[in-house]
Amino acid sequence: MKRTTTLVLVLCSIAAGLVLGEAAHAQVGRSVGVLDANLASEKDLLAVPNVTPAIAKAIESGRPFASVTPLNTLLSPSLKPDQLKQVYGKVFVPVNLNTASREEIVLIPGVGDRMLREFLEYRPYKTLSQFQREIGKYVDDKELARLEQYVFVPVNLNTASDADILSIPGVGQRMLREFKEYRPYKNIEQFRREIGKYVDKNEIARLERYVTID
């Protein structure tokens, strides 16, 4: 009985290590409550404070958003600044840590001038774990997890691990296989052409935000 219990504990430890290992390599922050504006259903959008049926329809029609800027442009005429903050506390377009403008970063709820400086100081980010390590110097674990869901580091199409690719919102096992099938990619046009065999141009535009070729 003792041997059996020990074996179970060892197996559980190994499994936990594998899960943590995958999480450590993910390049897109894991959501802890914030919806991706490019993927959220109408039902989910309508549950967001200040989002009316008309706004939800406008968001769906405006997809894919290349960044949070066009989403903000869409919503600003209808919502006051405080209302926008409430919306962005629940739905957002994740920002590229290496290319996002200052204006895009400060749209993340709770990010002011001080935190903006910290976000920019550590560019270029090679991994999301680098963001976790550096920004974790200034905030606690709960706040770090909250901030992380708003950001991503693009994955290298030719070297990204399975966990890296699967961290891209909306990518499952089938698309993972397609991403890997056409390696090595020589340019982004090749990615558009090959993956365009499986999804429409809007989905290509959405996915393209999360990848790079070095």
Q: Is residue 10 part of a domain?
A: no
**What tokens does 201 get?**
């141009």
What CA–CA distances, in Å, run from 21 to 9, 57, 66, 86, 164? 18, 39, 30, 34, 11
Query: Do residues 171 and 139 both lie within one domain?
Result: no
Q: CB pairs under 8 A, 24+ apart, for 74-79?
A: 78/52, 79/50, 79/55
CATH assignment of the domain containing 197? 1.10.150
Query: Do residues 134 and 165 both lie within one domain?
Result: no
Last residue of a domain, one of 137, 152, 167: 152
Last residue of a domain, one of 133, 152, 171: 152
Domain of residue 176 covers 155-212
pLDDT of residue 199: 97
Query: Do residues 137 and 85 both lie within one domain?
Result: yes
Determine the Cα–Cα distance for residues 89 and 9; give it in Å rounded to an integer: 39
Neighbours of 132 (CB within 10 A): 16
Chain segment 4-59, per-residue pLDDT in tens: 444 433 344 333 333 333 333 469 999 999 999 999 999 999 999 999 999 999 99
Query: Do residues 122 and 168 both lie within one domain?
Result: no
Counted domains in the chain: 2
Q: Is residue 26 part of a domain?
A: no
Query: Do residues 85 and 124 both lie within one domain?
Result: yes
Query: Do residues 136 and 42 both lie within one domain?
Result: yes
**What tokens does 88 get?**
């962005």
At 214, the pLDDT band (50, 70, 90 cuts) reads confident
- Helix or strand (DSSP H, E) at 10: helix 2-25
Q: Is residue 89 part of a domain?
A: yes
Q: Is 65 left (phi over 0), alpha (psi -120 to 50) or beta?
A: beta
Query: Do residues 41 and 118 both lie within one domain?
Result: yes
Query: Do residues 208 and 115 both lie within one domain?
Result: no
Provide DSSP, 11-71.
Answer: HHHHHHHHHHHHHHH--BPPPSSPEETTT--HHHHHTSTT--HHHHHHHHHHPSPSSHHHH
Phi/psi at 141 (5° precision): -60, -40
Last residue of a domain, one of 152, 179, 201: 152
Query: Do residues 136 and 99 both lie within one domain?
Result: yes
**What tokens does 157 get?**
């199409």
Query: Do residues 182 and 103 both lie within one domain?
Result: no
- Helix or strand (DSSP H, E) at 102: helix 102-105
Provide DSSP, 119-175.
Answer: HHHTPSPS-HHHHHHHHTTTS-HHHHHHHHTTEE-PEETTT--HHHHHTSTT--HHH
Q: Is residue 78 part of a domain?
A: yes
Query: Do residues 148 and 173 both lie within one domain?
Result: no
Q: Are strands 155-156 and 211-212 parallel, antiparallel or unpaired?
A: parallel
Chain segment 129-176, per-residue pLDDT in tens: 999 999 999 999 999 999 999 999 999 999 999 999 999 999 999 999
Q: Is residue 11 part of a domain?
A: no
pLDDT of residue 20: 33
Query: Do residues 143 and 188 both lie within one domain?
Result: no
Q: Is residue 186 part of a domain?
A: yes
pLDDT of residue 7: 42
Determine the Cα–Cα distance for residues 93 and 104; give it in Å rounded to an integer: 10
